[in-house]
Amino acid sequence: DGLVYLGNVLFALEEATELTVVDEIKEELFKSGYIKKSTQKKKPEKSKPLQIVTKDGFEIYIGKNNEQNDFLTFVLATKNDIWLHAKNVPGSHVIIRSDNREVPIAVLEEAASYAAYFSRNRGAEKVEVDYTLRQHLKKPKNAKPGFVIFNENFSLLITPKKPELI
């Protein structure tokens, strides 16, 4: 009987703890004619990078994942924007939009403290952060998202700081 079958399916769904199990149940329902296979795959909503505006009016962007890091570095940033990243550890790409203005040291230090905070070294007292102009960054061919190379940079040692917004 169809009602008993659907009751069993419902129970199996309620007990499922893995997405693969749910997918198998969905496939079973398709094969048995209870549901139609969707031709449209709904894309998950994309999250946005964190944006902070300093008291001097500079925009600072912080990537939350490798795809956002790539977007910030290679799409949003222009050649005279400043790119920052905690040295030799996984972390966020941080961009200061310069709008062709000279970036004050206080803004550079603020952005560096965020780069330190959004890195694996967040818990350290001081974190070394590399920074350079966006024009000095390159993405090697076939490199994974978030990977960049550069050979012209500066570094500073900074205390990690959580942005006040979050």
Structure tokens at 38: 């969707």
Run of H or E including 85: strand 82-86
Q: What is the DSSP letter of 75?
A: I
Q: Are 101 and 56 in contact (CB under 8 A)?
A: no
Q: What is the full DSSP assignment across 122-159? A: TTSSSEEEEEEEGGGEE--TTPPTT--EES--EEEEE-
Helix axes 19-31, 2-15, angle to 10 degrees: 160
How far is it, in rounded angstroms, from Cα 118 to Cα 85? Answer: 9
Q: Report the predicted TM-score, pTM, of the whole model to 2 decimal places.
A: 0.74
Range scoring the smallest mean pLDDT among 26-30, 83-87, 136-140: 26-30
Enter the DSSP assignment of 48: -
Give mean pLDDT, residues 94-111.
97
Q: pLDDT per residue over 109-158, tens digit each?
A: 999 999 999 999 999 999 999 999 999 999 999 878 788 999 999 999 99
Cα 127 to Cα 86: distance, rounded to the nearest angstrom? 7
pLDDT of residue 13: 75
Question: pLDDT tens, 43-70?
Answer: 555 668 899 999 999 999 999 888 899 9
In the chain, % helix, strand, coil (3-state, to 5) comes to: 35, 20, 45
| Residue 145 confidence (pLDDT) | 75
Tokens in use for 107? 């803004």
Give the Cα separation of 116 and 155 in Å (integer): 12
Instruction: Please say whether the beta carbons of 115 and 157 come within 8 A.
Output: no
